[in-house]
């Protein structure tokens, strides 16, 4: 297959380079942000060799390729004149919402997709590593007490444990706030000393205010809510801080304010949502087991998309 020729055919079928605002991809799909989707021909795209289907979702024109999507993406970008999706383009759906171009669900779905899609390779790699760690002792290649086993387990756990940090980076990219400061806030939420306080299960106060203790490692919703709030806090601070001290005062105040909100207000709200979900599922399962199975099957796509399955698992 001539991938360069296929790339040219795809670009032509979606309306040409001039109609492409930007392009990104996930594990199986090319995700185009088009200026005018009416100029793209679904029929023509589907007839292209290697294309499995087309989907319109969350302000994206998605071309389903399969596992070889990376090769198609590279060849399309090699044509030149096409911008890779970044904060300026992936957040266009949020801006369109205010103009009435998209509904709230599409905007939310675009947000989740923009934040989660870049993490998929790390999650796949970590998941496969965890499978290997499980299999090696079963086939008597490694002992569960060996140091090699324990280090391999760290390899598999790392992408999931530091999920809030990775999400902080992608969410900051989406909301156009400081990525480094967003990562710092995520670091505060999973700092070893804070987790030690959580494990100690003793009352903790910050400037006299009680801190709700949660383990935010592997969580999703709390950090997404925090970075969303950070968008407004950062914008407000930039307006009120004099330029002469902004380079020092802005990061100082942003870390303090967002750290406070993350541990005292926003983080607990997201975690309580996960706890409530878990409690509701366990209650229904204990009373009407068949209904719990049906509800989980029906809502699992939404639960996984929003990352609530991670939160509920922590409290189950």
| Residues 31 and 85: beta-carbon distance below 8 Å | yes
- Indicate the SS3 state at residue 209: strand
Q: Choosing from 26, 27, 197, 303, which is the catalytic residue?
A: 26
Going by C-alpha positions, the residue among 91, 94, 85, 89 that lies closest to residue 118 is 85
Task: Return d(Cα 195, Cα 213) in angstroms, integer.
Answer: 8
Q: Is 115 a catalytic residue?
A: no
The first and second tokens of residue 243, run together, are 């330029």
220 φ, ψ to 5°?
Answer: -125, -60
* Nearest of 19, 26, 80 to residue 45 by alpha carbon: 19
Q: Print the SS3 string covering 243-272.
A: CCCHHHHHHHHHHHHHHHHHHHHHHHHHHH
- Sheet of 29-34: strands edge to edge? 20-25, 29-34, 60-64, 53-57
Contact between residue 56 and residue 29 where contact means Cβ atoms under 8 Å apart: no
Report how far residue 113's alpha carbon sits from residue 306's, in angstroms, rounded to the nearest whole number: 9
Cα–Cα nearest to 119, from 66, 158, 148, 87: 158
Q: If you search the block for the tokens 């307006």, which residue do you land on?
A: 239
Catalytic residues: 26
């Amino acid at each position: 297959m001539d991938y360069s020729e296929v790339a040219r055919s795809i670009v032509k079928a979606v309306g040409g380079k001039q109609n492409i605002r930007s392009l990104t991809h996930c594990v199986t799909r090319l995700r185009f942000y088009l200026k005018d989707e009416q100029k793209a021909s679904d029929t023509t795209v589907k007839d292209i060799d290697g294309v499995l289907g087309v989907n319109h979702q969350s302000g994206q024109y998605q071309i389903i390729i399969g596992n070889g999507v990376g090769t198609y993406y590279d060849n399309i970008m090699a044509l030149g004149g096409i911008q890779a999706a970044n904060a300026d383009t992936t957040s266009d759906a949020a801006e369109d919402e205010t103009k009435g171009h998209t509904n709230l669900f599409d905007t939310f779905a675009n947000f989740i997709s923009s934040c989660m899609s870049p993490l998929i390779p790390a999650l796949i790699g970590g998941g496969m590593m965890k499978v290997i760690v499980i299999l090696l002792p079963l086939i008597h290649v490694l002992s569960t007490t060996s140091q090699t086993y324990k280090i391999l387990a760290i390899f598999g756990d790392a992408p999931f444990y530091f999920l809030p940090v990775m999400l902080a980076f992608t969410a900051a990219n989406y909301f156009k706030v400081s990525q480094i400061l967003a990562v710092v806030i995520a670091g505060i939420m999973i700092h070893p000393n804070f987790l030690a306080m959580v494990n100690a299960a003793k009352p903790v106060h910050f400037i006299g205010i009680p801190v709700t203790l949660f383990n935010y490692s592997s969580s999703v919703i709390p950090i997404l809510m925090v970075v969303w709030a950070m968008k407004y806090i950062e914008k407000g601070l930039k307006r009120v801080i004099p330029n002469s001290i902004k380079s020092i005062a802005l990061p100082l105040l942003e870390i303090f304010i967002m750290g406070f909100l993350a541990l005292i207000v926003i983080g607990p709200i997201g975690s309580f949502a996960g706890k409530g979900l878990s409690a509701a599922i366990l209650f229904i399962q204990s009373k009407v087991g068949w209904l719990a199975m049906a509800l989980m099957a029906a809502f699992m796509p939404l639960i996984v998309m929003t990352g609530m399955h991670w939160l509920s698992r922590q409290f189950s």
